[in-house]
Amino acid sequence: MRRPNIYKFILVPAVLLSLHSCFVAKEYSRPEEIVESEAYRTDNLPTDTLSMARISWRELFTDPVLTNHIDRALENNIDIRIALQQIEAAGAYLKQAKAAYLPTFGISAQVTHQELAESSPMSAFTNGSMTQYDATANLSWEADIWGRIKSNQRAQSAAYLQTVAAHQAVKTRLVANIANLYYQLLALDEQLEVTRETVANRMNSLETIKALKEAGNVTEVGVQQTEAQLYRAQAVVIDLENQIRLLENTFSILLGEAPHPIERTALDRQELNTSLQLGVPVQLLRNRPDVIAAEYNLMNAFQLKNVAKSNFYPALRLTANGGFQSLDLADLIDTNSLFASVVGSLTQPIFNRRQIRTQYEVAQAQQEIAYLEFRRAVLDASREVSDALYNYAAADRKLEIKENEFEAYELATSYSEELLNNGFANYLEVLTARENALNSQLELVNIRYDELSSIVDLYQALGGGWQ
């Protein structure tokens, strides 16, 4: 009788395995409406699939000091290191999900001692006490006929890939932040140099105005106005020095280091020799790590909804127990002490206080949230590309205009000072020309920085920086 029963139980796993392909879980497919062809909002919609995002940051940035800073940041930045640990954690969950197909197996040893009542029928045979020794093994396996385990594995795989993409997004953001801060420091350095030169020039002008007052060409008002302009320039120097120190502190933290002075070159030595190739809008789905991460989040939510749906269906499990059992330790490892049992169970939830339906409805809502976040990530990416394009175009157009403006103010300052020295101009004209020249020169430096920054922003917006 035993042998046919054993054959039956051997056949159970084979039958369950044959049902393994009968999944109810749906396959994920990307929403078709997620990217629109007009996503960039530009007069010249790109059709070339080449994109500057495919260029390595080492090729984009030619300043060796800047590239050295980026290298250090990618190695030591705290956010980068946190992202790497999140990848490790997600990888562990993925390994666990892959192992869910395997049966669980465990062994145990147990000693049970009982003191029996004198009136117990067993008391006469055991002298009032009984000790039982057990050594058992347990095996349990669930058939994944509805795809619950497979869907959970896919969900964990998407979660793992999401952390990888999130790590790439941190790298992209870090490279852009380092470059922008570096260029901002260079711009502040140049503005500081300009302002210090202005302070020196105004100190000389103050001496000239005082001499003109002695000669009766100007009044004390002119002297006081010139002094006020000098003090204003000195205050600007203090502001610029303070901004530089604060930016250096921020820069140091991005490097993963305590605040310290930042090595750098000069603004006029910066060149970004790359053509502004956008690629087609759909490439945002392949190049932008944050968009990629958002889609993996949608995949994860989609598969978890499959898991929640599978809970409505019966669960098929196979459980086996076997081992040795004896009242005498010396006879424990003996063929007469062997026992075994195999149980096949089919469990269908009927009433469970609405827990399964609630889990499914929550999973549906979370999938819709993930879809909307994916959609928002694509829209934000499109806006950032458009913003960077407009900023670059505006800075490029303004640069020549501001250069002409500065040259005009410098000539006006030179002519008005010469006329004042010869008694043909009012000192207010001189003061106004000087102030306008300084402001124009500072604005010109800002526009040079804006042009560099807009290229970096476009590079980041298209998904460059993590390669």
Compute the distance between CA of residue 18 and CA of residue 12 in angstroms, rounded to an integer: 10
Domains annotated on the chain, with CATH? 21-102+146-313+354-461 (1.20.1600.10), 103-143+314-347 (2.20.200.10)
pLDDT tens-digit readout, 351-371: 888 888 999 999 999 999 999
Per-residue model confidence (pLDDT) at position 426: 66
Report the SS3 class of residue 113.
strand
Contact 115, 128 (CB under 8 A): yes
Compute the distance between CA of residue 448 and CA of residue 452 in angstroms, rounded to an integer: 7
Between 46-50, 220-224, 336-340, the lowest mean confidence (pLDDT) is in 46-50
Per-residue model confidence (pLDDT) at position 42: 57
Per-residue model confidence (pLDDT) at position 364: 95
Distances (CA, A) of 23 to 41, 144, 238, 299: 44, 8, 70, 18
Q: What is the pTM of this model?
A: 0.83
Whether pLDDT at 77 is above 50? yes
Who wins on pLDDT, 151 or 418?
Answer: 151
pLDDT tens-digit readout, 395-451: 888 988 988 888 888 888 887 777 777 766 666 777 778 888 888 889 999 999 999
Residue 273's identity, in one-letter code, is: N
pLDDT tens-digit readout, 15-54: 444 444 444 678 888 887 776 544 565 555 454 556 788 8
> Quick one: CA torsion of 435, 441, 447, 453, rounded to 10 degrees?
-110
Compute the distance between CA of residue 208 and CA of residue 202 in angstroms, rounded to an integer: 9
* Other Cβ atoms within 10 Å of 38 Cβ, number: 9
